[in-house]
C-alpha cells in the first residue's frame, strides 16, 4: 500500500495555494474596513475596480460609473463650500481708491469714490487662489445689450455662476467701443463681487458705467439707495434748507457735471442733500434746467 510522506504533503499544499485562492478573498481585501472606528472605507471607485476585476457585465459597469460621478460631484461641492468659507474668513478688505469729482471753491469735494475692477481683482485673485479658487468671465453682446457671466471654480471642479446685463454706456463722449468696454468692466466688477460674496469697503455709489439710468437692476438698486440716504439725511436735519449763497457759489461747478453727463440732475440733487440740508424747490428746478438747456434731461 502506498503511503504519503510529510514531504509529499508539504509539496502539494505549497504548489496549489496560489491557484486555489478564491475571488472572495480578494473582494474582502478590497472592501477594507477601518477596524478602529468600524466605518467602511469603500468608495464607488473601489466597487468599480472590483467589478472590472470580476468581469462584470456592461450594464453594471455603467451604473457604477454613474455612481462614481455623483460621488465625485458631491465631494467637489463640499470642497468648494469649505474653500469659500476659508477664503471669506481670510480675505483682505477691498477699498474704494478711485475718486471721481472735483474740489469746490470752499474746498469741499464734489463727487464719489469707488473700487475699480483692478482694485477688486488685485485683492480677490491672490486670496481666492490660496484656497484653490479661480474666476473667469463669459461675455455676450447683442444689439443694445451686453451680458456678462462670472464663474468661480474650485480645483476639484465645482463652480458657481453669477450673471448680469446692461446696455452700452453712452454717457459722456465715448465712442462705440468705449461704450461697450465701460459696461463690460462695470459688469465684470459687480458679478465678481457677487460670485465671491464680497463687497467694497464702505458704500459704493458710483452708479455710472453700464448701470446709468434704467439700464439694469443694479443701477436701480443704487439709485434707490441714494434716494433713501438723501431722504434720511433730510429728516435727520429737520428739513434744514441749503444755503442759497453757498448754492450760488458752487452751482457753476455742479452745472458742468450735469451738462457733461457725469451726473443726472436727480443724482446731483441727491448728492448735494447728503451734505445735511435739503434743497429748496427753486434750487432743484434750477438744477433740472441745466439738463434741459443741453437736451440731456434724465432721472
What is the C-alpha separation between 172 and 251, in angstroms, rounded? Answer: 20
Q: Which residue has the cell 459597469?
A: 61
Kindly state whether residues 164 and 235 are assigned to the same domain: no
The partner residues of 103 in beta bridges, in order of sequence, read: 109
- Report, as an integer, the average pLDDT of 258-280: 81
| 44 pLDDT higher than 70 | no
pLDDT of 270-287, one tens digit each? Answer: 888 776 678 888 888 888
Domain-embedded: residue 299: yes
| 43 pLDDT higher than 60 | yes
Show which of 184, 206, 228 is a domain's final residue.
206
| Span of 9-23, 81-95, 197-211 with lowest mean pLDDT | 9-23
Kindly state whether residues 88 and 189 are assigned to the same domain: yes
Contacts of 40 (CB under 8 A, 6+ apart): 31, 32, 33, 34
pLDDT of 62-90, one tens digit each? Answer: 777 788 788 788 889 999 999 999 999 99
The pLDDT of residue 85 is 95
Domain-embedded: residue 87: yes
Show which of 161, 188, 206 is a domain's final residue.
206
Tell me which residue range forms the domain holding 271: 216-299
Helix (H, G, I), strand (E, B) or coil at 148: strand
Exposed, middle or buried: residue 92 (CB in 10 Å: 0-12, 13-18, 19+)? exposed
- Ranges of H-type helices in 197-243: 217-236
| Span of 42-46, 92-96, 156-160, 179-183 with lowest mean pLDDT | 42-46
Q: Which residue has the cell 434744514?
A: 240
42 or 21, which is more confident: 42
Positions of E strands within 235-281? none
What is the C-alpha separation between 213 and 223, in angstroms, rounded? Answer: 8
Domain-embedded: residue 30: no
Output the pTM of the full model.
Answer: 0.51
Q: Cα angle at 104 between 101 and 244, to 5 degrees?
A: 120
Q: What are phi and psi of 215, to 5 degrees?
A: -75, -20
226 or 182, which is more confident: 182
Q: Under a CB-based contact definition with an 8 Å cutoff, are residues 225 and 205 in contact? A: yes
Contacts of 75 (CB under 8 A, 6+ apart): 156
Percent of the chain predicted with pLDDT > 70: 66
Kindly state whether residues 110 and 231 are assigned to the same domain: no
Per the prediction, the chain carries an average pLDDT of: 74
Joined together, the cell numbers standing for residue 225 give 439707495
Joined together, the cell numbers standing for residue 96 give 474704494
Kindly state whether residues 247 and 299 are assigned to the same domain: yes
Contacts of 202 (CB under 8 A, 6+ apart): 96, 113
What is the C-alpha separation between 178 and 198, in angstroms, rounded? Answer: 27
The pLDDT of residue 295 is 53
pLDDT of 201-232, one tens digit each? Answer: 764 444 444 443 333 344 444 444 444 444 44
Show which of 188, 206, 224 is a domain's final residue.
206
Kindly state whether residues 199 and 256 are assigned to the same domain: no
The pLDDT of residue 115 is 85
Quote the number of domains for the chain: 2
36 or 269, which is more confident: 269
| 31 pLDDT higher than 60 | no
Amino acid at each position: 500500500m502506498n503511503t504519503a510522506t510529510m514531504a509529499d504533503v508539504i509539496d502539494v499544499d505549497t504548489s496549489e495555494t496560489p491557484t486555489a485562492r478564491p475571488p472572495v478573498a480578494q473582494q474582502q481585501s478590497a472592501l477594507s474596513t477601518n477596524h478602529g472606528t468600524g466605518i467602511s472605507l469603500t468608495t464607488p471607485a473601489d466597487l468599480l475596480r472590483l467589478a472590472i476585476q470580476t468581469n462584470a457585465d456592461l450594464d453594471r459597469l455603467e451604473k457604477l460609473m454613474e455612481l462614481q460621478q455623483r460621488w465625485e460631484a458631491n465631494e467637489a461641492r463640499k470642497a468648494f463650500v469649505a474653500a469659500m468659507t476659508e477664503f471669506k474668513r481670510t480675505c483682505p478688505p477691498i477699498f474704494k481708491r478711485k475718486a471721481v469729482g472735483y474740489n469746490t471753491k470752499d474746498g469741499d469735494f464734489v463727487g464719489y469714490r469707488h473700487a475699480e475692477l483692478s482694485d477688486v481683482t488685485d485683492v480677490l485673485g491672490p486670496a481666492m487662489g490660496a484656497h484653490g479658487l479661480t474666476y473667469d468671465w463669459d461675455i455676450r453682446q447683442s444689439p443694445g445689450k451686453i451680458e456678462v457671466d462670472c464663474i468661480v471654480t474650485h480645483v476639484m471642479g465645482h463652480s458657481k455662476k453669477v450673471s448680469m446685463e446692461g446696455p452700452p454706456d453712452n454717457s459722456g463722449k465715448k465712442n462705440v467701443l468705449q461704450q461697450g468696454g465701460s459696461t463690460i468692466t462695470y459688469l465684470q466688477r459687480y458679478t465678481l463681487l457677487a460670485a465671491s460674496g464680497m463687497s467694497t469697503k464702505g458704500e459704493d455709489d458710483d452708479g455710472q458705467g453700464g448701470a446709468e439710468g434704467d439700464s439694469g437692476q443694479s443701477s436701480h438698486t443704487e439709485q434707490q439707495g441714494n434716494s433713501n440716504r438723501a431722504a434720511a439725511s433730510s429728516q435727520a436735519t429737520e428739513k434744514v434748507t441749503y444755503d442759497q449763497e453757498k448754492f450760488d457759489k458752487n452751482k457753476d461747478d455742479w452745472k458742468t457735471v450735469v451738462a457733461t453727463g457725469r451726473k443726472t440732475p436727480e443724482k446731483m440733487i441727491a448728492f448735494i442733500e447728503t451734505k445735511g440740508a435739503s434743497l429748496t424747490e427753486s434750487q432743484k428746478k434750477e438744477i433740472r434746467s441745466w439738463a434741459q438747456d443741453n437736451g440731456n434731461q434724465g432721472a
